[in-house]
C-alpha cells in the first residue's frame, strides 16, 4: 500500500486514452519524487465503452476516479484490480452522475467472476453487476472498502462477496442482491451476500435487500471475526425458482456462521420473511452472537434457530413461522422477546410485502413501508 506524504495534491482530468497511456508507460499517474515522497495524482477517467472500462480498471492507481456512462457493458474477462488506494486517495469506480450503468457477465467464460478487487480503499458505487456465470462482485482481503448503492442480480453464484484474511473495515451499504443461482451446485451456493472464508474486524452490512436467491440471503460461513448486520431485509430465499429437479438451496434469511468457527456477530434491527428455512440461524456457530430488535415472519422453519450457541437475544419478534417462533439451546440467553414470558406480541400494521419491493429513495435508503411495522419502540425491527 502506498502512503501519501506530500503536502499538496493536484487534480487532473484525463481522457481515457491519455490516462491509459500514462499508466501503461509509468506504472500509474504520480506527482512528486519516486523515492520517499511519491504522491498519487487524483485523475478522473470517464468511460463509455467496454474496452475503456476494462483498461481503466486494470490501470487504476491511488486517486483514480472511474466514471462510467450510461449503458450495458459486457467484459470478456473478469474486471480485476490488485491496486491499492489510500485513506486519502481512494480508488473510485462509479456511475457517471445519476446514470444507469449495468455491467453484464453474459460474455464471460464459464466459472469467471464478473468483478474482483484485491486492493484496499476502493469505493464502488451506483452500479449493477448482473448475469455473471459465477460470482457478481468479489472483494478479497480488502481494507477500508466502501461498496454503496450496488445491485448484484441473476449471477451464477453469490451476488456480492467479501472474503479472505485481512478483510477489514469494509462497509456494504444499500445493496440489492437478488435472483442469484448456481446451476452447477443446484442452488446450494448462491447467496445474496456472502462474507466467507476469512477474517478481519470492522466490517458492516447496512440497508441491504437480499431476496429470491437460491441459497441464503446472507451467509457468514467460516468468517472468524465479528460482522455487524443492521437495517437489512432477507426474504424469499431458498425457493426453487429455476425448475431445477435436483435443487439443493438452503433458504435461511440470515445464516450467521458455520464451519467450526465461534464468533460473536452483531445483528440489529433486521427482518427475515418468507424464507424456505429459518429466518435467523447460528448455523452451528457456538459464539455469543448478539441479536436485538429483529423480526422473523412466516419463514418455513423457525424464526430464530440458536440451539448450540451462547447467543444473546433481546427484544426480537417472531410471528407465524411454521417451524416455531424459536429453537433455543440451554446456553442461549433470551430476554424481552415475544416468546418470553410476560411479553405481549404487538400487531403488525401491514402484512402486505408489496412496498418492500419498491424503489429505494434517491439516496439509496430502503423504501418506506408499513410492512411488519408495529409502532413499538421496544420490540421488533423498525423496517427502516
DSSP class of residue 356 equals G
DSSP class of residue 264 equals -
- Whether residue 127 contacts residue 68, with contact meaning beta carbons closer than 8 Å, is answered with yes
Q: Is 25 helix (H, G, I), strand (E, B) or coil?
A: helix
Q: Which of 329, 231, 341 is nearest to 288 (CA)?
A: 329
* Residue 179 burial (CB count, 10 A): 20
SS3 content of the chain, % helix, strand, coil (to 5): 5, 30, 60
In which residue are the cell numbers 451476488 written?
Answer: 159
- Whether residue 227 contacts residue 206, with contact meaning beta carbons closer than 8 Å, is answered with no
What's the distance, CA 377 to chain centroid? 28
Backbone angles phi, psi at 198, to 5 degrees: -175, -165
Backbone CA torsion sign across 299, 229, 346, 328? positive
- Cα 35 from Cα 48, distance rounded (Å): 36
Which residues are known to be catalytic? 255
What's the distance, CA 133 to chain centroid? 18
Which residues face 327 on adjacent strands? Answer: 305
The 10 Å CB-count burial string (b at 16+, else e) for 283-316 is: bbbbbbbbbbbbbbbbbbbbbbbbbbbbbbbbbb
In which residue are the cell numbers 466490517 written?
Answer: 203
Task: Characterize the bridge pairing of strands 304-306 and 326-328.
Answer: parallel
- Whether residue 318 contacts residue 294, with contact meaning beta carbons closer than 8 Å, is answered with no
- Cα 369 from Cα 350, distance rounded (Å): 9
- Cα 314 from Cα 90, distance rounded (Å): 39
Amino acid at each position: 500500500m502506498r502512503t501519501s506524504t506530500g503536502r499538496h495534491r493536484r487534480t487532473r482530468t484525463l481522457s481515457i486514452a491519455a490516462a491509459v497511456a500514462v499508466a501503461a508507460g509509468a506504472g500509474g499517474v504520480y506527482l512528486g519524487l519516486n523515492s520517499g515522497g511519491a504522491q498519487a495524482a487524483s485523475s478522473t477517467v470517464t468511460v463509455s465503452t467496454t474496452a475503456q472500462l476494462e483498461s481503466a480498471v486494470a490501470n487504476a492507481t491511488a486517486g483514480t476516479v472511474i466514471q462510467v456512462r450510461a449503458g450495458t457493458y459486457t467484459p470478456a474477462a473478469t474486471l480485476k484490480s490488485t491496486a491499492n488506494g489510500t485513506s486519502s486517495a481512494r480508488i473510485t469506480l462509479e456511475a457517471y452522475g445519476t446514470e444507469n450503468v449495468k455491467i453484464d457477465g453474459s460474455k464471460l467464460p464459464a466459472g469467471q467472476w464478473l468483478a474482483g478487487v484485491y486492493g484496499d480503499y476502493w469505493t464502488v458505487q451506483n452500479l449493477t453487476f448482473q448475469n455473471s456465470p459465477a460470482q457478481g462482485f468479489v472483494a478479497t482481503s480488502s481494507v477500508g472498502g466502501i461498496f454503496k448503492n450496488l445491485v448484484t442480480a441473476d449471477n451464477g453464484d453469490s451476488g456480492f462477496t467479501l472474503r479472505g484474511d485481512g478483510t477489514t473495515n469494509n462497509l456494504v451499504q444499500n445493496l440489492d442482491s437478488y435472483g442469484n443461482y448456481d446451476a452447477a451446485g443446484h442452488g446450494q451456493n448462491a447467496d445474496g451476500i456472502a462474507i466467507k472464508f476469512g477474517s478481519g474486524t470492522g466490517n458492516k452490512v447496512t440497508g441491504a435487500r437480499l431476496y429470491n436467491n437460491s441459497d441464503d440471503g446472507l451467509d457468514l460461513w467460516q468468517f472468524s471475526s465479528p460482522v455487524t448486520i443492521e437495517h437489512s431485509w432477507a426474504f424469499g430465499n431458498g425457493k426453487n425458482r429455476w425448475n431445477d429437479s435436483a435443487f439443493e438451496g438452503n433458504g435461511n434469511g440470515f445464516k450467521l456462521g458455520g464451519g467450526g468457527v465461534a464468533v460473536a456477530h452483531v445483528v440489529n434491527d433486521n427482518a427475515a420473511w418468507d424464507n424456505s428455512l429459518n429466518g435467523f440461524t447460528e448455523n452451528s456457530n457456538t459464539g455469543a452472537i448478539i441479536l436485538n430488535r429483529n423480526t422473523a415472519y412466516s419463514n418455513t422453519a423457525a424464526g430464530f434457530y440458536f440451539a448450540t450457541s451462547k447467543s444473546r437475544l433481546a427484544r426480537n419478534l417472531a410471528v407465524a413461522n411454521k417451524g416455531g417462533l424459536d429453537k433455543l439451546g440451554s446456553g442461549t440467553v433470551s430476554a424481552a422477546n415475544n416468546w418470553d414470558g410476560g411479553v405481549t406480541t404487538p400487531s403488525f400494521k401491514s402484512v402486505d410485502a408489496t412496498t418492500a419491493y419498491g424503489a429505494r429513495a434517491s439516496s439509496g435508503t430502503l423504501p418506506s413501508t408499513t410492512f411488519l411495522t408495529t409502532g413499538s419502540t421496544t420490540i421488533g425491527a423498525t423496517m427502516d
